[in-house]
Amino acid sequence: MSASFVLGGLAVLSFVLLIWQWLAGRRFPLHRRIADSSFTPPVTVLKPLKGTDSTTAASLRSWLAQDYAGDIQFLFGVESEADPACALVRQLLAEFPARDAQLLVCPERLGANPKVSKLIQMVRVAKHDFLVVSDADVRAPADLLANLVVPLREPNVGLTTCFYRFADPTTLPMRWEAVAVNVDFWSQVLQARSLNPLDFALGAVMAVRREALDKIGGFAALADYLADDYQLGNRIARAGWRVELCPVVVECWSGPMSWLAVWKHQLRWARTIRVCRPVPYFFSILGNATLWSLVWLAAEPRLAIGLAAGAIVIARLLVAFDLARLLRAARPPEWVLWAVPAKDILQVVIWFLAFTRKKIEWHGQRHRITRQGKLVGHS
């Protein structure tokens, strides 16, 4: 069997996986709102914070401005009074005096994951049986909570989560990351869900039933894991509850990021996914249509192969543009087209490096990830 035949088969396979990914994305009712808003249980929103940037105030304000008929308790957690987030939260609490909101200092280090350490301490003060956990950089539409809690009306649903989009890729490396998030990540989640029920959560926003959280050992059970969102959803699913996707999309905002910062983030993300789902991550390289088309053409540079490879690459660009449009609910910028091949080639390096080492850098500290996904040591 010739190398060209094998590489051609891989290129065709990548095209088939691409179309599957596209169809999975198009079939999901992104941005659809609920018709019945009668289910509005009281909820506690947990916001673990560390530092601020130019986008943090608007992101936190979007939560305090939620249009929700039920009671909401907001808890903002910081590690120490020295955190600059304290001043911002106090300013926002003064801006929304009618809200049941509180700033909590959470000084205990209860595990290797500082976010989960805060959550353990924050949940002690939570009044309600439905808990919403969200990252500081998430900006939510006003009706998010009203839509997010609806699946929890069903007693066998333990957790709901939703997709997010990278909203402000202001630098070249951030645009590379935006393709990974706004094109591939969400549609690949749906691709995986077409095979099996969802058994993990997406960390930007998660709404969890306290009963389900308590059954898996609470946030304390996640204290030493890097991928606390994956562990939370996976453990709840294994405990017998369903994990559901809310169609509302939130936005993640960030200050300008350099190539080094984006590279470290992507590498940490890749190594995290590789540890959590090693077999699917290993085979994920098969879906890289740009890679296999170019390798096929390089192995046998003939006109017919060039035309076939070119058609696959063009299909990749068109599918990426459409998926970005679906998530954005508007026409994406033209830079998406040239960023896609750059992302695909760089992703090959990231994929390879994900298997070479078990070390990551997070919050300025170096950690090693065990085969179980736990964080060990730092320097």
pLDDT at 371 over 80: no
Distance CA(225)–CA(112), nearest Å, equals 7
Give the C-alpha separation, 374 to 131, whole Å.
24
Confidence of residue 73 (pLDDT cuts 50, 70, 90): very high
Q: What would the pLDDT profile of 212-270 be if each residue is shown by its tens digit?
A: 999 999 999 999 988 899 999 999 999 999 999 999 999 999 888 889 988 988 888 88
Mean predicted confidence (pLDDT) in 183-208: 94
What's the mean pLDDT in 144-156?
A: 96
Buried-state track 262-291, b at ≥16 Cβ within 10 A, e below 16 = bbebbbbbbbbbbbbbeeebeebeebbbbb
For residue 203, pLDDT beyond 80: yes
Read off the DSSP letter of residue 96: -
Two tokens, residue 362:
């997070």
pLDDT at residue number 35: 82
Per-residue pLDDT at 196 exceeds 60: yes
Range of weakest confidence among 54-63, 106-115, 303-312: 106-115
Tokens at residue 121, please?
């301490």
Q: With H, G, I as helix, E, B as strand and everything else as coil, classify residue 373.
A: coil
Q: pTM here? A: 0.91
- Of residues 355 and 47, more confidence is placed in 47
In the structure encoding, which two tokens stand for residue 83, read together? Answer: 């955190």
Backbone angles phi and psi of 81, in degrees to 5: -65, -20
The amino acid at 100: D
User: 364 falls in which pLDDT band (50, 70, 90)?
Assistant: low
pLDDT at 304 over 60: yes
pLDDT at 363: 63
pLDDT tens sequence across 165-178:
999 888 888 998 99
Strands (E), the chain: 43-48, 72-78, 100-105, 130-134, 138-139, 157-166, 205-209, 242-252, 359-362, 365-369, 375-376
φ, ψ (nearest 5 deg) of residue 125? -100, -5
In whole angstroms, what is the distance from residue 326 CA to residue 178 CA? 14
Q: Which of 281, 182, 194 is nearest to 230 (CA)?
A: 281
pLDDT in tens, 49-69: 999 989 999 999 999 999 999
> What pLDDT sits at residue 211?
96
Query: Residue 378 has what pLDDT?
Result: 55
The whole-number pLDDT of residue 275 equals 84
CA–CA dist 3, 22 (Å, integer): 29
Give the chain's mean pLDDT: 92
Question: Is the predicted pLDDT of residue 376 greater than 80, yes or no?
Answer: no
- pLDDT value for 11: 96
Q: How far apart are CA 68 and CA 146, in angstroms?
A: 6
Domains of the chain and any CATH numbers: 7-27+275-374 (no CATH), 43-268 (3.90.550.10)
- What is the C-alpha to C-alpha distance for residues 368 and 107, in angstroms, rounded to an integer? 24
| Span 317-345, average pLDDT | 92
Task: Give me the percent of the chain exceeding a pLDDT of 70.
Answer: 97
**Confidence band (pLDDT; 50, 70, 90) for 72?**
very high
pLDDT of residue 1: 56
Residue 379 has pLDDT above 60, yes or no: no
Residue 374 pLDDT grade (very low, low, confident, very high; cuts 50, 70, 90): confident
Angle of CA points 126, 130, 133, to nearest 5° = 75
Measured CA to CA, the distance from residue 80 to residue 84 in angstroms comes to 9
If you search the block for the tokens 């990830």, which residue do you land on? 369
